[in-house]
Amino acid sequence: SQKIEQNSEALNIQEGKTATLTCNYTNYSPAYLQWYRQDPGRGPVFLLLIRENEKEKRKERLKVTFDTTLKQSLFHITASQPADSATYLCALDMGYSTLTFGKGTMLLVSP
């Protein structure tokens, strides 16, 4: 079965720096890969979706890359702000079944 690995350790960075979060998967490449943000006590909120034939997707300060050779997606937040502090989840969509979520990585941006 598909396994998804996100760094379980929190990522601590300073305000203004670029945060980079990693999502690795095993086995087959998904048709789509989605990224979500989750704040404490709240449900996940969709951020970005990238297709397997796309190398990169951007939305404002967010950038997602998808490398099917490395079986990896990177999620970047440029010019990070304390308000970006949250847990970020990646989710794989194989195209024929429901989404499979990673366990998430907590990002802490300090002023």
Partner 1 sequence: NAGVTQTPKFQVLKTGQSMTLQCAQDMNHNSMYWYRQDPGMGLRLIYYSASEGTTDKGEVPNGYNVSRLNKREFSLRLESAAPSQTSVYFCASSEGQGTFSYNSPLHFGNGTRLTVT
Residues that bind partner 1 (CB under 8 A): 8, 31-32, 34, 36, 41-46, 49, 89, 91, 93, 95-99, 101-104
| Residue keyed to tokens 């907590």 | 106
For residue 66, the minimal CB distance to partner 1 (Å) is 15
> Based on CB atoms, which residue is closest to partner 1, 53 or 97?
97
> Based on CB atoms, which residue is closest to partner 1, 34 or 85?
34
> Based on CB atoms, which residue is closest to partner 1, 71 or 93?
93
Task: Give the closest residue to 38 by CA, choosing from 88, 75, 81.
Answer: 88
How far apart CA 78 and CA 1 sit, in angstroms, is 33
For residue 94, the minimal CB distance to partner 1 (Å) is 9
For residue 53, the minimal CB distance to partner 1 (Å) is 13
For residue 35, the minimal CB distance to partner 1 (Å) is 10
**H or E element at residue 87:** strand 86-93
